[in-house]
Amino acid sequence: MQKINVGVVGTGFIGPAHIEALRRLPNTNVLALCEVTPELARQKADQLGIERSCTFDELLKMDDIKVVHICTPNFLHYSQSKAALEAGKHVVCEKPLAKDLHEAEELVALAEKTGLVNAVHFNLRYYPLVRQMKVMREQNDLGDIYSIIGSYLQDWLFYDTDYNWRLEPDKSGDSRAIADIGSHLMDSLEYITGLKTVAVMADFNTVHKLRKKPLKPVETYSGKMLKPEDYADVPINTEDHANVLLRFDNGNRGVITVSQVSAGRKNQMKLEIAGSKKTYAWNSESPNEMWIGNRDGANESFMRDPSLAHPEARSVISFPGGHNEGFPDTSKQLFKEVYDAIAAGKQPEKPTYPTFADGYRELLICEKILESNRKQAWVEI
């Protein structure tokens, strides 16, 4: 088997997660790691056991690197994805695809023109039971969809002393909670149901209107107490919490709540999809079990098990029933489908994985949600 050489750009939380998932595939070789300076790139490459370290420009000149994974802060996604495509590299980009619709539209067009494989890391749709729900809905097990309730709750920005680059609009964009985790939620809901969101009504809240930004690098004070003079007060304009009413193209309704200040919720995405035959409920913190509600019979619990799942869902399950699979497995399963396309040399006509077009779609929904919050009114998509 000929291995496909990969370069990864960025070493925050998600870059190493990509690397770990790629190393679990038999046909990939993470050959190069890129950071903002040669010194940092070498340090991180040594830590992660990667042969080459480089700057981004150096990476693009490496003819033996066939694929680039963009794992940098949001404001770099557009320019780096564009440059990688123009250099003839297949691209896997973190979400959001770009900072605005114009940039995203340009990337979709460029990717289509080149014919190169393009994917966006909406990995949460790769939990096996998310795909199982999609297949069951396609086989009319759910019936007509009456309503959708979704939430995505975290607590990593619970305190006013919690700080991260995602709080800064010039790096992250004008939306935070919706763009960051709400995009995963909306992508998964439309993926499972096959519905399109046609209008939104949003209401945002910034709980901590002032946050305390540490004046020292995180590594220097990790685990130590900071004094008041070690912080600077920074005004915050992006949302800690958001509620959004949804209207779908089948005429029915939904609602989502997104929060990054919910104590105890580390990373919980919950879905409840009510149809004319059944209701499906699923929670990412217990990803190997889904609840099936019935009106006229006993409710059911469906455990992730390849022997019980539909064939289309079985393809993203690696272990037998009772052997739990979780967050790291979602990236592996997404990359498995992406690298099948890369091995074939081009973007499939109907990709099974999320593409730049899906990235554009979620950016469109996000911008309409932002517009709705500004206007405090319904906005059509």
- Rounded to an integer, the average pLDDT of 105-121 is 97
Portion of the chain with pLDDT greater than 70, in percent:
98
Q: Give the pLDDT band of residue 222 (cuts 50, 70, 90).
A: low
pTM: 0.94
pLDDT reported for residue 135:
98
- Rounded to an integer, the average pLDDT of 62-76 is 97
Q: Say which residue, 187 or 225, is predicted with more confidence.
A: 187
pLDDT at residue 68 is higher than 50: yes
pLDDT at residue 221 is higher than 70: no
Q: Say which residue, 226 or 29, is predicted with more confidence.
A: 29
pLDDT reported for residue 214:
87
- Rounded to an integer, the average pLDDT of 133-146 is 98
pLDDT reported for residue 35:
96
Q: Which two tokens mark 319? A: 């272990």
* Nearest Cα to Cα of residue 173 among 81, 75, 88: 75
Q: What is the pLDDT of residues 319-339, one digit of tens each?
A: 999 999 999 999 999 999 999
Q: Measured between alpha carbons, how far is residue 360 from residues 70, 258, 269 in Å?
A: 16, 20, 22
pLDDT reported for residue 220:
46
Q: What is the pLDDT of residues 165-197, one digit of tens each?
A: 899 998 888 999 999 999 999 999 999 999 999
Across the chain, what does the average pLDDT equal? 95
Alpha helix positions (H), the chain: 14-22, 38-48, 56-60, 77-86, 101-114, 128-138, 169-172, 177, 183-193, 218-221, 311-314, 327-344, 356-375
